[in-house]
Amino acid sequence: MEIPFAASERRSLGVEWELQLVDLGTRELTAASIEILGELYPAGVDETAKAKHELLQCTLEIITGVCGTVAEACADLRETVKAVQDIAAQQNVGLLCAGTHPFSHWIDQAITPNPRYEQLVEQLQWVARQFQIFGIHVHVGVTERDKVLPIINGVSAYLPHLLALSASSPYWLGVDTGLASARSTVFEALPRAGLPRQLSHW
């Protein structure tokens, strides 16, 4: 099966930021995404929305548009986060950014009612249910297909450095794991996770 290449008109980036929803009284994760997004988008969340549901109801994903610079992406994120923060505060909910929550348990979290997430849980079972992890994804637009593999192969040598700089999850279920990134260990349970292989052709 050939995967088609979708060219970007110019070098670009987009960011997806998964934020934890935390009860400001208990500091536990709280299932507040449906209420917050319902307030933010009374007509419903659509494909163009800048804030969306994730697998667990204790998570909100903030999404930028296609941006030309890092500064533009930051400004885009800031605007949406402010709108979400204002609504969340009215519900005594705060936003937290870390790879894992330090002590909330995944078994207590509600799955978002969505066919895609329900199918994921059906396929992966326990692996998907324990996915109480949070990340920041940066998508990079490339103008030509021939540039893609050299970029991927070049960047893969620096993935350990990027992980070291971004590690923010030493705790898992109330335990100090001794790891700087417990999130990456949990994530590696996925069949397609981990370091990519060197790719030689499209």
- Encode pLDDT of 9-43 as tens digits: 899 999 999 999 999 999 999 999 999 999 999 99
The predicted structure's pLDDT at residue 17: 97
Residue 197 confidence class, pLDDT cut points 50, 70, 90: confident
pLDDT digits (tens, 9 = 90+) for 140-179: 999 999 999 999 999 988 988 999 999 999 999 999 999 9
Tell which residue, 135, 136, 137, has the closest CA to residue 186: 135
- Give yes or no for residue 59 having a pLDDT over 80: yes
With bands split at pLDDT 50, 70 and 90, how would you rate the model's confidence at 180?
Answer: very high
pLDDT of residue 194: 79
Q: Which residue has the higher pLDDT, 189 or 56?
A: 56
pLDDT band at 190, cuts 50/70/90?
A: confident
In order, the DSSP letters of 60-128 are EEEE---BSSHHHHHHHHHHHHHHHHHHHHHTTEEEE-SSB-SS--GGGPPBP--HHHHHHHHHHTHHH
pLDDT at 1 over 80: no
Spatial CB neighbours of 46, under 8 Å, sequence gap ≥ 6: none
* Single-letter code of the amino acid located at 31: A
3-state secondary structure of 161: helix
Pairing of strands 12-23, 136-141: antiparallel
Q: What is the pLDDT of residues 79-135, one digit of tens each?
A: 999 999 999 999 999 999 999 999 999 999 999 999 999 998 999 898 889 999 999
Give the separation between CA 152 and CA 154, rounded to whole angstroms: 5
**pLDDT > 70: what percent of the chain?**
100
Q: What is the pLDDT of residue 110?
A: 96
Fill in the DSSP letter of residue 1.
Answer: -
